[in-house]
Amino acid sequence: MLKVNAVPALSDNYIWIVSTGDSARVAVVDPGEAAPVVDYLAEHGLEIAAYLITHHHGDHVGGLASLLADHPAPVYGPAAEADKIGNIDHRVAGGDRFTLDFLGATFEVIDVPGHTLGHIAYDTDGVLLAGDALFRAGCGRVFEGTHDQMQQSLARLRALPDNTRVYGGHEYTQKNLAFATTVEPDNAAIGAAIADVDALRAGGRPSLPGTLAEEKRINPFLRWDDDNVRAAASRHAGRELDDPGEIFGVLRDWKDAN
């Protein structure tokens, strides 16, 4: 099983370090800042063998050029955003697959437009590197795409196996769960997640990853076809909603306004 460790960066980002646990060679996911990665490498005696980039936002790629200067390695990233990011020598898009031999892992690329138009996620062996598409109990804001695009992107991710561990790019879980409670105040699974996450954060530990099975129970942005979520979105909109993209859009606008 792959090991995925969090390196906190900036105000609330996570840079993910993917390894086998028995090799010094690692993959670095979305290095928004260089210094925390350099410190982590030195502390654990590691070397970078690949970079995986999900989208072009600076808090996910801001440290890439600096790291490459001292830690050169192949860079995989979204073909549609390669010109914005720079330094990508393996341009990948949805449906592509590639193997990182040092991890013994084959990654499938999933197109997840919405947060940005070219956003991708990487899936391998029960590990989903989701960038800003999917968080624990939440999802990314829709900056470049449409609500329909984002809902369809999340539907692709929701179709992955229940035991998939979801590694999103930010520590937003407590705020996400607060909104989930607003949508579904009687959802016991949300209450259980709040207790779990509060304990993790009180101990200084990341709240991520969650599992996709849990997301299907607690994340309103994956629950557009649940009767309670549909009813809550309809009440908030002041009209009856049935279309998944429209339900998602009402939920996303509702969250953005909080």
Residues identified as active-site: 55, 57, 59-60, 115, 132, 170
Dihedral sign computed on CA atoms, order 29, 192, 188, 234:
negative
Instruction: List the structure tokens of 19.
Output: 């390894």
